[in-house]
Amino acid sequence: MDGVLGLCQAKEALMNGLLETLRSKLRSMADPEKAKVLQRFFKTGPGEYGEGDVFLGIQVPLLRKFARENRDLDEPSLQVLLRSSVHEERMLSLLIFIQKYVRGTEEERKKIYDFYLVNTSFINNWDLVDLSAEHVVGHFLMKGSRRPLYQLAKSKSLWERRIAILATFHFIKQHEFSDTLKIAAILLSDKEALIQKAVGWMLREVGKRDLDAEEQFLMKNYQRMPRTMLRYAIERFPEEKRKRFLKGEM
């Protein structure tokens, strides 16, 4: 027993060391000037949606490369990163979790999906949602009940509502539009611009694959849709048609 305990402690010490080395490397890649730009872009000021988020200023392609190099990082270390106040550490954690999900068994994928939904409070900026929701939540629910998405869509959390609609991007890519349209209807009167933009974007993606399906939804709902949502949804329409939608003349 002492031998097993010793091995566990040694493994934990090794992983802790690897985690600290990884975090040190991230900080060595920091770009303070880029970080200042990102702090403003992601609305991190008091009362803004990203209030308190801390950026190092590392570009996403570098983080993706770093994630590939560290894809065997253990789950406890990934939990530490996901619960970090540093944006890039949370993003790195999600990128690695996605890689583990893609390579995992059904049991491992279920564990990652469950972990994701338990930790939505740390998936708390739009880029974190957008890079992960379809690949974990959408993929996992593709063959099962979609009920969790409707629970997320009715959440008080901005980020859970965005996860709900962005997760359906996976369905859209498989030419399944029903859940996207139903969740869009639930979020139709959402006051948050980040939700309005996300819904409009997903409606536009539906339209790329089935224009009739998007237009039927719009004809039923466009007059009561928030302007931002409508603009995003009709972005690819011919100019004259866009004008008629915006003027309420369809």
Check residue 16 and give its pLDDT: 62
Res. 207: pLDDT tops 80:
yes
> Tell me, what's the pLDDT at 248?
81
The residue assigned the tokens 């866009």 is 242
d(Cα 127, Cα 20) in Å, to the nearest integer? Answer: 25
Question: For residue 103, what are the CA distances in angstroms to 29, 100, 136, 182?
Answer: 28, 5, 12, 31
Expressed as residue numbers, the domain containing 212 is: 146-250
Domain assignment present for residue 6? The answer is no
Q: Does 166 reside within a domain?
A: yes
Q: How confident is the model at residue 20 (pLDDT cuts 50, 70, 90)?
A: confident
- The CATH number that applies at residue 233 is 1.25.10.90
Long-range contacts for 93-100 (Cβ within 8 Å, ≥24 apart)? 94/123, 94/128, 94/131, 94/132, 95/63, 95/64, 95/67, 95/131, 96/67, 96/70, 96/71, 97/132, 97/136, 98/131, 98/132, 98/135, 98/136, 99/67, 99/68, 99/71, 100/71
Q: Specify if 237 maps to a domain.
A: yes
* 193 part of a folded domain: yes
pLDDT at 2 over 60: no
Chain Cα centroid distance, residue 58: 18
Residue 175 has a pLDDT of 96
- pLDDT confidence tier of residue 12, bands split at 50, 70 and 90: low
Please state the φ and ψ torsions of residue 86, each to the nearest 5 degrees: -90, 125
Query: 118-127 burial, b if ≥16 CB within 10 A, otherwise e?
Result: ebbebbbbbe
By CB neighbour count within 10 A (0-12 exposed, 13-18 middle, 19+ buried), where does 212 fall? exposed
Mean of the per-residue pLDDT values for the chain? 91
- pLDDT score, position 221: 95
Which amino acid would we find at residue 136?
V
What is the predicted pLDDT for the residue at 4? 37
Mean pLDDT of the 29-47 span: 93
Residues 113-130 have pLDDT tens digits of 999 999 999 999 999 999
Asked if residue 21 belongs to a domain, the reply is no
Confidence of residue 247 (pLDDT cuts 50, 70, 90): confident
Q: Give the amino acid at 61.
A: P
- Does some domain include residue 52? no
Region 155-165 average pLDDT: 98
For 73, the token pair is 């990082």
pLDDT at 1 over 70: no
In a domain, 223, yes or no: yes
C-alpha distances in angstroms, 86 versus 48, 93, 171?
A: 17, 11, 31
176 is a domain residue: yes
Helix (H) or strand (E) holding 77: helix 75-82
Query: What is the tally of structural domains in the chain?
Result: 1
| Predicted confidence (pLDDT) at residue 7 exceeds the cutoff of 50 | no
